[in-house]
Amino acid sequence: MRVEGSPFEEAAFFRAVAASGARALLIGRRALVALGIPVLTVDYDFWLHIDDIARFNTAIEPMGLYPTHAPEEARARGRYVAENDERVDVLVARSVPTVDGIHVAFDELWSRRRGLEVAAGVVLAVPALPDLILTKRFGGRPKDFEDIRLLEALRREEGQ
């Protein structure tokens, strides 16, 4: 659903997220693109620390990105969306199981995160490559496994 027709400034969005101090990991295909894999993508996907929902929402609301659920509801559901012309999918859970039964903890991924300069002077956190691959196993859709194959190729390209 498109609520507003305001122009979206990606750099300003990333700057607001980075400046908020929220522990937010950019995941999903947008992270693949930032790392160097040219795939088509629509949304922004973040995995957010469960205690940082309000901080994150406060940062992005000036861009017209309004959350579909209040923080308490979001915590109970494990995810929510913030959107206007853009859509931001936000995962909020201390740990998430992969489709094949591995429990992946946010805190562990956060401790191994890498920073990417996604706009001038703006550094966002993304999971380390092996961890990003694990997050692709949350959804368990066929295209997620295609993305995993691309990420594995990137990993070899980087000599990891």
Partner 1 sequence: MKPLDTPSPAAVARVHALSERRLSAEEARAALAVPLGEAEEQETRSLIRWFRRRYPTPAARLAYARRAYRRWASARPITRGSDSDAR
Residues that bind partner 1 (CB under 8 A): 10-11, 28-30, 33-43, 98-101, 116-120, 137, 139-143, 145, 148-150, 152-154, 156-157
User: Exposure of 109 by Cβ count < 10 A (0-12 exposed, 13-18 middle, 19+ buried)?
Assistant: buried
Beta carbon nearer to partner 1, 53 or 86: 86
Helices of type H across the chain: 10-20, 28-35, 53-60, 71-77, 106-111, 129-139, 142-157
Instruction: Report the C-alpha gap between 18 and 154 in whole angstroms.
Output: 25
Residue 51 C-beta: closest distance to partner 1, Å: 27
Beta carbon nearer to partner 1, 8 or 73: 8
Beta carbon nearer to partner 1, 50 or 119: 119
The two three-digit tokens of residue 145, written as one number: 């496994």
Q: How far is CA 125 from the centre of its chain?
A: 9
Beta carbon nearer to partner 1, 5 or 101: 101
Residue 127 C-beta: closest distance to partner 1, Å: 14
